[in-house]
Amino acid sequence: MPTQGLPLKRSTGAWIGGIALAVAIWFALYRQLQPFSRWAVVQLPIPQGSALASSVEFFIYDTPKVLMLLALVVFAMGVVRSFFSPERTRAILAGKREGLGNVAAAGLGIFTPFCSCSAVPLFVGFVSAGVPLGVTFSFLIAAPMINEVALGLLFALLGWKVALTYLAFGLMIAIVSGWVIGRLHLEGWLEEWVRNIRAGDVDLQPDELTWFDRFEAGWDAVKEIVGKVWYWIITGIAVGAYIHGYVPAELLSRIMGADAWWSVPAAVLLGVPMYSNAAGIIPVVEALLGKGAALGTVLAFMMSVIALSLPEMIILRKVLSVKLIAVFVAVVASGILTVGFLFNFLFS
């Protein structure tokens, strides 16, 4: 009787059993977060019903809530990501024509690992594999802006309508912006060392991952991503808690409401110099919306922080000329402005 596969089956079974138990505990704890935050505030020597009490309750409730949601989403998408290696992504996009290639690139951007520090090797890898410039930009826009963490947290915190609308318009920005950049034929504005790279064959490793390997990939993703962004999340929640407790709703509604036409461009200009990620900025978005800020204005701010951050532009300067970066920012910012105004019109 063959026994070689038994240890692997036991390991996979142990993972499945452990995951089922962890999910059950996760839901049990998640249901108690709001009662616990209220109880904790009552125990503190602060005036009940005050702005400080409201801020502290927001912070105590949102910190574990967002971290728990992040861990759950990252684990699930870490398993999904095990099916999409960077090499496979390049192979899928290599040789794709503009149009269909832009759509495919934006769609793959949702599931492919990406952060600002990986922008340069990804960009060079795509160019060397023969991926058109516009298609590459569609991927680079979609990957940080509409990644699975952003969508998962938007769905959990703001509902499926907001998450689905954000996904639709985020894809539209990535597809259209990449197509426009491709139509401009700006390959000559790449840095010379990038233009001199010869396209080579993409070496694809055979897909031999077991479910045990994929579960491990999900757990590794949780340790890596949550370990990197937890302080951004706590910072974002602290800012959101201050807004929730101390910023008057009437003031925020006047500044960031749908009636103030200038609120959308002002939100984009404010977001570009900032540096955060989806997990860190969404608690701020939640607090702003709770105070009456317009949905389009807030999401335009979020998109600009994630997709057009100044640190990412500095990193991309290694492979793009200043002129090409300026075109990239102008095209993407135009798309974000359009989405912001359209959101305010649709949800006013």
Angle at 63 between CA 61 and CA 69, to 5 degrees: 100
Lowest mean pLDDT among 55-59, 246-250, 259-263: 246-250
**Domain locations in the chain?**
33-83+212-237, 144-200+247-347
pLDDT band at 36 (very low <50, low <70, confident <90, very high): very high
Work out the percent of the chain whose per-residue pLDDT is above 90: 2
Q: Which of 68-72, 214-218, 323-327 reaches the highest mean pLDDT? A: 323-327
Rounded to an integer, the average pLDDT of 281-298 is 81
- Please list the residues that pair with 320 across neighbouring strands: 190
Per-residue pLDDT, 201: 44
Look at residues 219, 199, 202 and name the one whose alpha carbon lies nearest to residue 133: 199
Per-residue pLDDT, 86: 60
Query: 109 with 253: CB under 8 angstroms?
Result: no
Q: Which of 27-41, 120-134, 186-200, 313-327 reaches the highest mean pLDDT? A: 27-41
Per-residue pLDDT, 200: 45
Lowest mean pLDDT among 5-19, 61-75, 208-222: 5-19
Per-residue pLDDT, 290: 80
pLDDT band at 203 (very low <50, low <70, confident <90, very high): very low
For all residues of the chain together, what is the average pLDDT? 77
Q: Which residues contact 106 (CB under 8 A, 6 or more apart)?
A: 138, 139, 141, 142, 146, 171, 174, 175, 178
Look at residues 344, 317, 284 and name the one whose alpha carbon lies nearest to residue 157: 284
Distance CA 16, CA 7 (A): 14
Query: 298 with 264: CB under 8 angstroms?
Result: no
Is residue 339 predicted with pLDDT exceeding 70?
A: yes
Per-residue pLDDT, 175: 92
DSSP count for the chain of H helices, then E strands: 17, 0
Q: Which residues contact 64 (CB under 8 A, 6 or more apart)?
A: 29, 33
Residues 268-303, buried b or exposed e (16+ Cβ, 10 A)?
beebbebebbbbbbbbbbbbbbebbbbbbbbbbbbb
Per-residue pLDDT, 39: 92
Q: Which residues contact 28 (CB under 8 A, 6 or more apart)?
A: none
Q: Which two tokens stand for residue 36?
A: 């616990």
Rounded to an integer, the average pLDDT of 179-193 is 84
pLDDT band at 252 (very low <50, low <70, confident <90, very high): low
Rounded to an integer, the average pLDDT of 152-159 is 78
pLDDT band at 244 (very low <50, low <70, confident <90, very high): confident
Is residue 117 predicted with pLDDT exceeding 70?
A: no
Per-residue pLDDT, 84: 64
Is residue 258 predicted with pLDDT exceeding 70?
A: no
pLDDT band at 90 (very low <50, low <70, confident <90, very high): low
Q: What is the pTM of this model?
A: 0.63
Q: Which residues contact 183 (CB under 8 A, 6 or more apart)?
A: 98, 134
Q: Which of 34-48, 190-204, 296-310 reaches the highest mean pLDDT? A: 34-48
